[in-house]
Amino acid sequence: MQYFDYYSSPLGILMVTEENGAITGLELSEKISKPAKRPIDLAEQKNTPLIALAKSQLEEYFQGRRKAFTLPLQPVGTPFQRKVWDALCTIPYGETRSYKEIALQIQNPKGCRAVGMANNRNPIMIVIPCHRVIGSNGALVGYAGGLDIKEWLLGHEKICI
């Protein structure tokens, strides 16, 4: 069974999704699309113990008291996307990496654009820190939640180090 609930964050309302004992989604509720593979209509709104834990950890993150999440994650994606998302989880709090650095880390040196596309499809924002990936020139480029949110998250982490 799939469950979801909402969390009011400084960024707006986030929707947390759980399935089979793992977090499968964390998205801004106003930016949620409903593709056929994620029929939220079939999910039940419920603050399960895992969703409550996710909301508690998000609260700690936004208060500057949490630097790493300890949640079971199960993002739905291709093997390549999951490889990229795993690499994103190695970027330390308050630091950034370029798309090229991630491509090199996953041993796909010509895969910068593919890394960008996988980043864009990340279903678990903040926890899988795609906001920490920037252009090789240091520019804030591309973020599914919007560049203003990416800038906010990076700024938040810098002042909370």
**Active-site hit among 89, 112, 130, 160:** 130
Is 160 one of the catalytic residues? no
The token pair at 82 is: 């999951």
Residues known to be catalytic: 130
